[in-house]
């Protein structure tokens, strides 16, 4: 009889520890999901804000550069076309290097999202 009582006590203890483990695991994964979502949204907002300011800066730089080139060539149209051509060259270079850019972004983001030791 003592053997059955001991076995029942051990079984009950194992069940309680298993339930506690499952509850803690669920809380951990909820917290981890919240962390990943929050970091993603934060990264997206920061990138959008920085990107907007850089876009405005590039527009002003492009207009200024176009004016400088058009004054040098005494032809406004040609100045603006040369700057547009410069941006087309940048776009082609970016298109050619797109795989290495994607790989670099994936490596940097994976460090943030999958390195459990730094963010917990």
Between 65 and 110, where is the model more confident?
Answer: 65
Q: Determine the pLDDT at residue 61.
A: 96
Distances (CA, A) of 109 to 4, 43, 54, 56, 60: 54, 10, 21, 26, 31
Residue 97 DSSP one-character state: T
Q: Determine the pLDDT at residue 92.
A: 97
Q: What pTM does this model have?
A: 0.63
Using DSSP's 3-state secondary structure scheme, residue 74 falls into coil
Q: Determine the pLDDT at residue 118.
A: 52
- Structural domains in the chain (count): 1
Q: Determine the pLDDT at residue 120.
A: 47
Instruction: Give residue-wise pLDDT tens across range 6-52.
Output: 777 788 888 888 888 888 898 999 998 898 889 889 989 999 999 99
The DSSP line for 5-28 is: HHHHHHHHHHHHHHHHHHHHHHHH
Check: CB of residue 78 under 8 Å from CB of residue 68.
no
Q: Angle 67-73-77 (CA atoms, 0-180°, nearest 5)?
A: 60
Half-sphere exposure of 24 (CA within 13 A, CB side): 6
- Expressed as residue numbers, the domain containing 90 is 2-119
């Amino acid at each position: 009889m003592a053997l059955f009582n001991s076995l029942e006590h051990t079984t009950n203890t194992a069940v309680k520890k298993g339930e506690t483990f499952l509850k803690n695991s669920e809380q951990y994964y909820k917290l981890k999901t919240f962390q990943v979502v929050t970091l993603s949204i934060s990264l997206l907002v920061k990138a959008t804000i920085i990107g907007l300011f850089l876009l405005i800066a590039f527009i002003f730089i492009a207009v200024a550069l176009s004016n400088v080139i058009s004054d040098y060539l005494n032809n406004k149209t040609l100045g603006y076309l040369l700057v547009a051509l410069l941006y087309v060259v940048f776009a082609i270079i970016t298109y050619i290097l797109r795989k290495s850019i994607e790989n670099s972004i994936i490596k940097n983001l994976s460090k943030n999202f999958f390195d459990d030791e730094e963010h917990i």
